[in-house]
Amino acid sequence: MVLRTQRRLIALFFAAVLLPCALLVLLTVRGMRQERELAGKRVQEEAARIMVQVRQALRTRLEGIASRELNAHTVRTAVARNRSTTDSSVRLVADIAGGRAVPPWDATGGTGRASTWSAGDFGHTVRDAESEEFGRGNLEQAAALYREAVTAARRGEQAGYARLALARVLTRLGRTHEAAAQYALVFALDFDATDAHRVPLALYAATRLADRTPASVLNRLSGEVARRCCLAPEALYMLRHVVDTLAPRTSRARSRDGDPYASLRRLVDERIRTAEHTVALLAELPELGLRPIRRTDAPTAAPPGLPRWIVHGREPWFVGVTATAGGTASVLVAVDVERVLAAINRTLPSDLGVNGTIRLALPGDAPDRLLGPDFASLGLDLQPAGGPIADGGIARLSYLGILIVVLGVTLFGAYLIWFDVRRELRMADLRSQFVASVSHELKTPLTAIRMFGESLALDRFQNPATRREYIDTIVNETERLTRLLDNVLDLSKIERGQKQYRLKPTALSDVIERCAHMLQYPLAQRGFCLTVTVAEAVPPVTADEDALEQAVLNLLTNAMKYSGDSRDIDLRLRRVNGEAIIDVQDRGVGIPAALTSRVIEKFYRVPSADNAGIPGTGLGLTLVEHIVAAHGGHLAIESAPGRGSTFSIHLPLEPSQ
């Protein structure tokens, strides 16, 4: 019956608690999954919107740069176009004519064509001088003719060419001072005065002056390179040679001025890379298929098929073709990618509210990370504005928190219910055992009382000793019944909180003697030897005399029950460190150490084969522990299986005692 009840309670527990918990978990998981899907869609939509905004911002910036460069390019003179632009991100501005882009060093208006040197009297004089120098070896006549060519020159580069030749001849004649003066005049020429290869004549003179005035040569070259954006590649290679020639001669200047040579060399190397990139770009331009950007085009309009901008080169440039409103002129504009991206990345949070970074695309980038049309070579890394949980993480954490709280409360409630059910089942089992034990405890003395009473009533025994024995047995069993009923009644009062104690000065030695006397007959009947030891000078304690007698009698009764084959019981009264201690010691079955704390529980009995046949209610030690605690003391238990047990009642003495 009990087992069937337990199964029914367990089934009810599963139906009432665990099934709703499982359903709650499933619903929460489903809600979190749906929220995650919705959050993912929201993130994708937000990313697509941001992509559009970033593309528009990037296109607007690039086309703004292209428009400014077109305006500036159309109003500059041919010579001025070789000056550095105000926008440091611009790498190239080149006219487009006849379907091809004109390199900027070919559009500067210089006169470095071969026909320049053979025109008019200047050309005849130079040819005669070269014939005297290289044909006849007449250096003096060649020098005189070169001087005439200088006088006949009509352009600065003609005079420069003649002076270079004159300086060369003077050097061969050993007239180095005069040659240095001529080189100095050539070095003072503008860099727009070039030879047929677009190499400034001043650079030829710079190589000759490096030994004499390295610092002034370095300063002049630094200024010219910084001022000009588009020297021809041949000029730049010549310039790098001159700079390398100056290197060992400018160590003192480097230590004094912070290394101007290194700065110039870095600038020249950068211009060479730019020139080489320009040559490669112009060669590939027809194949790139760029669509010209006109001023009438909306900056954010979608491209009609051809790209507006491309990314070109290892050191990448944005390359686009911009045209006037009427399409009468077109200009190729190249802008440094890294500088533009750095500038726009700084403004993304403030202008667009975008917390992200535009960068060059990587091989493994997903399509949704690329900027798309016009900017397929660029990617965008986005960081949610709200941090890592902005993409639905807060909702998921909320769901998870609610689930944890609800499950925690539910499971805690289930635990309490389960604990209460188990306790009720255990108490029901204990009550059943208690009823059986009490019935047995009551039946045994009642049977003895009835048997001896009937024998006395029949007056069958004339021997006074026998009659006295029967009467003592009846009295003893009556006292046993009284103690059993007192235990039950006292437990009931204790549970209701109605148990009261009459405290008064009590001599513990008298309590010990009365308890020994009251159990003298049952002890003798069962063959026990009770040894009573009372220490001297144990002062009286404030206690309920009847309650203490009941506690000691319960301990002695337990000692008789659980002594096993042993028949020795010790009852001692002693004083230790301000306490009066009553010890009841047996040498019986003992208690396992793990169960000593449980034997004082109500209805609890040690589950063992030795105790199975011993009658008892499981109330004696519970009452003893309550009585001792009510007197301000405590109950100590020392026991070991097979070696017996010692129960000690510790009662505090008055401080004055």
Higher pLDDT, 85 or 641: 641
- Residue 43 burial (CB count, 10 A): 15
- Residue 87, helix vs strand vs coil: coil
Highest mean pLDDT among 3-7, 393-397, 586-590: 586-590
Q: Are 62 and 335 in contact (CB under 8 A)?
A: yes
The DSSP output letter for 306 is S
Whether the pLDDT of residue 616 is over 70: the answer is no
Q: According to the model, what pLDDT value does residue 353 have? A: 75
The CATH architecture one would assign to domain 500-652 is 2-Layer Sandwich (3.30)
Look over the chain and give the mean of its residue pLDDT values, rounded to a whole number: 76
Highest mean pLDDT among 10-19, 39-48, 51-60, 589-598: 51-60
In the structure encoding, which two tokens stand for residue 316, read together? 């990448």
- pLDDT class for 253, splitting at 50, 70, 90? very low
Closest CA to 490 of 503, 479, 500: 500
Calculate the alpha carbon distances from 487 to 179, 231, 438, 493, 512 in Å.
137, 118, 11, 10, 19
Whether the pLDDT of residue 79 is over 50: the answer is no
Residue whose pair of structure tokens reads 């199964």 in the numeric block: 7
- Residue 59 burial (CB count, 10 A): 23
The beta-carbon contacts of 150-155 under 8 Å, at least 24 apart in sequence, are 152/120, 152/121, 152/122, 152/125, 153/122, 154/120, 154/122, 155/111, 155/116, 155/193
The DSSP output letter for 421 is H
- pLDDT class for 319, splitting at 50, 70, 90? confident
Torsion of Cα atoms, 509 then 513 then 518 then 523, to 10°: 120
Q: Could you tell me the residue ranges of all domains in the chain?
A: 111-193, 500-652
Yes or no: domain 111-193 corresponds to CATH 1.25.40 = yes
State the Cα–Cα distance between residues 131 and 145, nearest whole angstrom: 10
In the structure encoding, which two tokens stand for residue 122, read together? 């200047």
The model's pLDDT over 155-199, given as tens digits with 9 standing for 90+, comes to: 888 889 989 999 999 999 999 999 999 999 999 998 888 888 888
Segment (H or E) for 582: strand 579-586
Please tell me the pTM assigned to this model.
0.53
State the Cα–Cα distance between residues 184 and 200, nearest whole angstrom: 14
Non-local CB neighbours of 31 within 8 Å, separated by 6+ positions: 399
Taken as a whole, the chain contains a residue count of 657
In the structure encoding, which two tokens stand for residue 511, read together? 């309590």
Q: Which of 109-113, 481-485, 631-635 has the weakest average pLDDT? A: 109-113
Higher pLDDT, 652 or 615: 652
Q: Which of 438-447, 512-521, 567-576 has the weakest average pLDDT? A: 438-447
Non-local CB neighbours of 602 within 8 Å, separated by 6+ positions: 430, 491, 618, 619, 622
Q: According to the model, what pLDDT value does residue 293 have? A: 66
Residue whose pair of structure tokens reads 């150490």 in the numeric block: 593
State the Cα–Cα distance between residues 363 and 85, nearest whole angstrom: 34
The model's pLDDT over 491-501, given as tens digits with 9 standing for 90+, comes to: 566 666 656 77
State the Cα–Cα distance between residues 630 and 422, nearest whole angstrom: 30
The DSSP output letter for 119 is S
**Segment 312-341 mean pLDDT:** 81
**Rg of the chain in Å (alpha carbons):** 58
Burial of 210 (C-beta count, 10 Å sphere; 0-12/13-18/19+)? buried
Higher pLDDT, 112 or 86: 86
Q: Which of 261-265, 473-477, 649-653 has the weakest average pLDDT? A: 473-477
